Structure 1
């Protein structure tokens, strides 16, 4: 035996408030955090309910002590070395073993390995004690002279400590500054040597085709020039290649590679790589390293191209900004990811898999791991590999300038070395980014403060790119997002980003039509808030407070002025809502409309624009926010809309006129001409037939047409411009809907469409909608488990954005928030987490826009 591991998660862990007279110890969980332990022991109320967050701020000012007693397994004493390994400590921690101080830590983002040979007691209990100091006291005393504006920390200081920044509050998250052993702890015994990591390099003779050479470079705990290794590569249990030797590099040739592709571009085959350190005497295995890899190339292409997009005072041409996978430019379709919970300790596959699967269900291929959270748990990256979600990976810096002293930079270097080494083998890892919005929000600081400029250069232009080059040289790096090719640190305006964060809609209150005036090369942030559904709102809000302006709800709206902004935009589209359900529904429709307008514009412009990554996909607690998925994973209207606007095939409208209010509140509507675009960004090209028809809201066809289109992969096509002005002047713009569908060439008109879309010539609040009944009928679906039922819907007149609800059932809907056209039948498959019962189906609630105010 050369390796033995003993988990400490099952040890008898307890905790108490440090320096408390008459200490009372309570049961604790590792991995975990003090807030979760306080909740589990009924010492504090649920921080997510009501206004409880505000009453729990005292926790961050206290020191907390954890202890565990354990008997070390006898197998550990038979080995040469025994280490205590902490995956992560959050954050300011002192560790004692049997009364001896063995560790101090003040960085949440790296692990610790402490040699214990000669320190462990054999055959009797060992006492492990960890004291977590107050993060706030650390901030006050550690860097008193450091001053930088923090944009989302209401108290200040979050960038002075290497800890999850959004723990201190954000404009979508609570301030719950916690502490604890947040990643697993273990005892690890080993002999002879140990593989710490293996760098996997790939050489593709011709990107996208031909042989692939996989090189494994083992990194050992002890230097050993004569060490012998064996590397094996297999796929689905079948060995593909194997190599044994004492060289620093083990080269494995793959003659017929199965390439890994992002979702929507191809399959995601994952090869098993095993690298073993061999005993020089008998050839036995001393240590091994096993991972899954995908054979692929991903590079950030920022080369000049044919598009004359210019920016800056000198009209400098802005280059391409896009990901090239296996030689193919891929339009990035995705959303920004924040931590899946305010308390990230102990998150696992069950927390991540549904949320990430929902992203690929919505035709996304990229997730931007935002820099104010954490370097995620291993299973997060495993799932992204399996699902084909490319990971844009920020280092953990967001919005605010951070220190640049030697001690701080040394801690950041250790963190970066470990994290790049840990995740570098993942097929999904597409890009490293130094920070989120640090330059964008601190331009005046860098212009006026030489010390601040030097700190930015040292961290993001020197330290981090050097680490990436050393540890994962095949992965592209940019210093920040939005990405400024010329940062402008020493004065003057930076050259406009080729990767944009477009917040003119929302923060600047620009009209939604602003999106259609842009010529972005890539847009990695843009968004619109909405409210949670009643089902989720009721988990934190008492019935008498279910009002977005109530004291309770204000605690769950973290963006200053957020409520006013939501109503400002929603009021341009809808009549005044009658209750909270209507408010939430309208806010979600508005959010979906805004993101649909932006994404369809960006996709129509492809390949000039090569990415649409909206803010944000998920929530860390129940809240009003920019998310498309509510806390717990329920789909908002936005996520259903994303499934449509991110689909590989897209048919899209662009109005050439506008509807505007003028003097005296008179409305001037020049809408009449409309462009119809086709797009396909799956693998290869696609020949299609595009059809359109103009209908009255009670189903009468006024005009129609169809024609062929040759869609070239990843390139938007203006197929036709319709001028319907005369017709609309006659029938009234408030009385019609324009529908378009896209089908594969050769498919009949009754075959399922690859894509469909609707548009209107007035804002929805002016549509002449009728409250005709929506007929519904259920029928079973043979899914083998009795968990799916099909709902059929029909109405004699148009219903704008029909919502289907079965609250309390955990149901998932194949489609929702859709237009139900007059006389047409719509089917929705509803999947339940358990076998369907009549009591589930009886909870059906169906409503549309007209029901929110009539």
Structure 2
């Protein structure tokens, strides 16, 4: 089937009011094209964003010429295929209008042979201003509240919603050919899709596949040849006709598992279709994982479960929310996805929640999740603000769902389709009181989307919104979240509740919760001049949450002392963020099996910014991501400390802390034997008490193993002078270790080391071993190698007195010991004290 990739043509673009054409890149968008042409400054630098809002008000035109051969023109049908146009586009071929579009999320096919001729042809796209469309289309619909769009009404257009501004992202309303574009020619029918159904019996020891090929037009004379292989070896082969049930049993099936639960074998399915004359109608190859995924909601002692069963096994979901990896999504590469998704697996995650205000991602994203074992909770692209429900809008949503579901449904990683993000949660009053809003909402999320899934993917569970409790009769209260459904818990951060509030609620599944921090000085330097202050105009422009800086400072001041520099404030903000997420995730894991998921907000950034992310835009890991590696570990020792610090009249400090409960939490698939150890130390290094206990670890078990009553040592030594060190060993190796303070760290007089020793050993040109030792205890010891892109086996750890801590560091480029010695920087909490 001859194909001409039009993206390789010489593209040009212009503002439609200008005469000058500039070079363009396809796929791409107007912002990146303007930047390459040096017509605008770096959109991410300083406050440049504010001066680029004129772009969204202009109409933009793209054009290219291409040559058509007589041979190609001899085919019976030629289609122009556009995988993604952003967004309000009118398409012209050789001066004649052939189509118009208004949905960024739909791919298109147009029959264009009559418009083509041998030799040079011209293709033009005119992208009308999205803002003009919003003002002129569905002007009778205005949502009751705007949550993130400062101008308003972006819900009137089917376009990436966070382009219009979010509380972590800038406002860059793009236009352009954002995905592939080509000509496809043929003189025969076309194999369009293949739908695959899996049937597992006997715990997956027998797996049967049933295939339903989908042709561009019906033809009962078509026959199919099917090959199924693993690691290049064919394990099954079958043939069949159009009317046959096309299927086979997989011999010795190798099951696909999420990360941490088993391997991720991916089979290659190849389907070739031929007509009665033997002409090939196309070949479709898909990578398949053999697995079953069920959203299990059954009555239990707490209400109704909300858990994912993978191949029949209940798996605790450990993950983060995923937003677009860049503000400009058109030219993302596999490497852009690889960096952050691999980092997620390194942090012992098994799930990404693909959030509904962004985009349906490229094949690279889903392929990587398949390979890495990252389940995908997949929102449809609707978020926060209520949407229209007119017939044209509903038809566009149905076409979008049809297109995207068919494209994505075969991926092993796909665990859940979710209708939207927070529409019911944020608009409950309007939905319950306004029939028009309720009807539009129901038509989309209880009508169009589940109908599309029924037609194209009835195997993947559907959840109409997040958070949601399973039925309209249930409210959004936390009390209801303790009984059923999923919860977005934002009392910590938005309501500025104490971090210990996480432990107040026994939620069934927490799919959003978070705490902001600042990006590192290294990332800050990419968008702000030297000497920038967190409260100046540049930094405020890179803080998109109203009052976000004040909230960060509020939480930092509750836990830590006043820092001596802005770099130290950044460090403290990241320590606080990690502490908050540790408190939340460990609480939810200790609740297992009542709670069966913790997905924090958020994994990544789309530009350099202060946000809730654990990975900065530059790829640098925040403290949270390093510590997530520990609190997501398959075998975890976790402390629950009932009580908290408080104050009474006169600002006198009080405490209700007395006991420390030590838990083991385990979600690895095979049982193990372990040794739980604990020690109570003074800051001077004296051991006040010590103990150990043999423990049995089994999948899905959270067990309170030991209660330490510390009333006497607290009275003797003072609670600010003590810390508990706890550890879990398996087969002689420490797999989990952490420290517990009995008072907020700002009241703990941490010792200052006279000298911290660092020894560097180069293992290979791109790998080094660094050993740290300290004469005193150092809390959240952190090191950095500015300017050297690297990953480390650990960071932001506890450096215990006179114990060597070894860290393996891998670099993207060869390094020398001299360079490492020169660049190595390190500090701990005590070094931030003013």
String of CA shifts for 1:56-99, please: whole Å, max 9, x gaps. Answer: 11110000111111112454224221111101000000010001
| Match among 303, 326, 334 for residue 311 of structure 2 | 326
| Corresponding residue of 1:515 | 502
| Corresponding residue of 1:853 | 833
1:232 CA drift (Å): 1.0
| Corresponding residue of 2:790 | 811
In 2: Cα distance, 1:53 partner to 1:117 partner: 43
Q: What is the CA RMSD across the aligned residues, in angstroms?
A: 1.5
The answer to whether 1:726 aligns with 2:712 is yes
| Corresponding residue of 2:218 | 223
Check the 8 A contact 1:263/1:387 in 2, yes or no: yes
| Corresponding residue of 2:491 | 504
In 2: Cα distance, 1:193 partner to 1:774 partner: 75
In 2: Cα distance, 1:799 partner to 1:610 partner: 34
Check the 8 A contact 2:763/2:769 in 1, yes or no: no
The within-5 A match list for 1:198-597 is 198-206=194-202, 208-246=203-241, 247-282=243-278, 285-305=280-300, 307-308=301-302, 318-488=303-473, 496=481, 498-544=485-531, 546-597=532-583
| Match among 678, 687, 700 for residue 692 of structure 1 | 678
Structure 1: 5+ residue stretches without partners? 309-317
1:670 CA drift (Å): 2.9
| Match among 639, 645, 653 for residue 625 of structure 2 | 639
Check the 8 A contact 1:81/1:191 in 2, yes or no: yes
Q: Structure 1 residues 73, 834: closer, same or farther in 2, change over 3 A? A: farther
Check the 8 A contact 1:487/1:495 in 2, yes or no: no
| Corresponding residue of 2:642 | 656
In 2: Cα distance, 1:841 partner to 1:70 partner: 55
Q: Structure 1 residues 694, 233: closer, same or farther in 2, change over 3 A? A: same
SS of the residue corresponding to residue 571 of structure 1 reads helix
In 2: Cα distance, 1:249 partner to 1:340 partner: 41
In 2: Cα distance, 1:104 partner to 1:518 partner: 51
| Match among 110, 130, 133 for residue 135 of structure 1 | 130
1:840 CA drift (Å): 3.6
| Match among 781, 788, 807 for residue 802 of structure 1 | 781
String of CA shifts for 1:501-557, please: whole Å, max 9, x gaps. Answer: 00000001110000011110000000000000000001111113x211111100000
The answer to whether 1:172 aligns with 2:153 is no
Q: Structure 1 residues 735, 75: closer, same or farther in 2, change over 3 A? A: farther
In 1: Cα distance, 2:545 partner to 2:180 partner: 34
Check the 8 A contact 1:447/1:490 in 2, yes or no: no
String of CA shifts for 1:547-589, please: whole Å, max 9, x gaps. Answer: 1111110000000010100011010111111212101100000
| Match among 778, 785, 788 for residue 759 of structure 2 | 778
Check the 8 A contact 2:493/2:514 in 1, yes or no: yes
The answer to whether 1:15 aligns with 2:2 is no
In 2: Cα distance, 1:629 partner to 1:460 partner: 32
The within-5 A match list for 1:749-764 is 751-764=732-745
Q: How many residues align?
A: 829
Structure 2: 5+ residue stretches without partners? none
| Corresponding residue of 1:312 | none
Q: Structure 1 residues 489, 647: closer, same or farther in 2, change over 3 A? A: closer
SS of the residue corresponding to residue 814 of structure 2 reads coil
Check the 8 A contact 1:388/1:428 in 2, yes or no: yes
In 1: Cα distance, 2:358 partner to 2:594 partner: 31
1:630 CA drift (Å): 0.2
String of CA shifts for 1:619-673, please: whole Å, max 9, x gaps. Answer: 0000000000000211000001110000100000011232112211111123221
SS of the residue corresponding to residue 276 of structure 1 reads strand
In 2: Cα distance, 1:221 partner to 1:443 partner: 42
Check the 8 A contact 1:446/1:489 in 2, yes or no: no
1:698 CA drift (Å): 3.1
In 2: Cα distance, 1:493 partner to 1:792 partner: 46
In 1: Cα distance, 2:218 partner to 2:479 partner: 46
| Corresponding residue of 1:833 | 812
1:841 CA drift (Å): 3.2
Check the 8 A contact 1:218/1:248 in 2, yes or no: no
TM-score by length of 2: 0.98
String of CA shifts for 1:127-164, please: whole Å, max 9, x gaps. Answer: 11110000000000001110102200000011110000
Q: Structure 1 residues 740, 492: closer, same or farther in 2, change over 3 A? A: closer
| Match among 106, 116, 120 for residue 102 of structure 2 | 106
The within-5 A match list for 1:597-616 is 597-616=583-602
1:255 CA drift (Å): 2.7
SS of the residue corresponding to residue 704 of structure 1 reads strand
* Stretches of 4+ aligned residues off by more than 6 angstroms: 489-494
1:710 CA drift (Å): 1.6
Check the 8 A contact 1:76/1:189 in 2, yes or no: yes
Q: Structure 1 residues 502, 262: closer, same or farther in 2, change over 3 A? A: same
Check the 8 A contact 1:683/1:713 in 2, yes or no: yes
1:281 CA drift (Å): 3.0
Please say which of residues 497-506 and 592-601 is displaced more in the overlay: 497-506
Check the 8 A contact 1:651/1:756 in 2, yes or no: yes
1:777 CA drift (Å): 3.0
In 1: Cα distance, 2:590 partner to 2:376 partner: 24
In 2: Cα distance, 1:602 partner to 1:489 partner: 22
In 1: Cα distance, 2:695 partner to 2:574 partner: 34
SS of the residue corresponding to residue 621 of structure 1 reads coil
Check the 8 A contact 1:488/1:495 in 2, yes or no: no
In 2: Cα distance, 1:726 partner to 1:528 partner: 35
1:493 CA drift (Å): 12
| Corresponding residue of 2:88 | 92
1:248 CA drift (Å): 4.4
TM-score by length of 1: 0.95
Check the 8 A contact 1:742/1:756 in 2, yes or no: yes
| Corresponding residue of 1:314 | none
SS of the residue corresponding to residue 826 of structure 2 reads strand
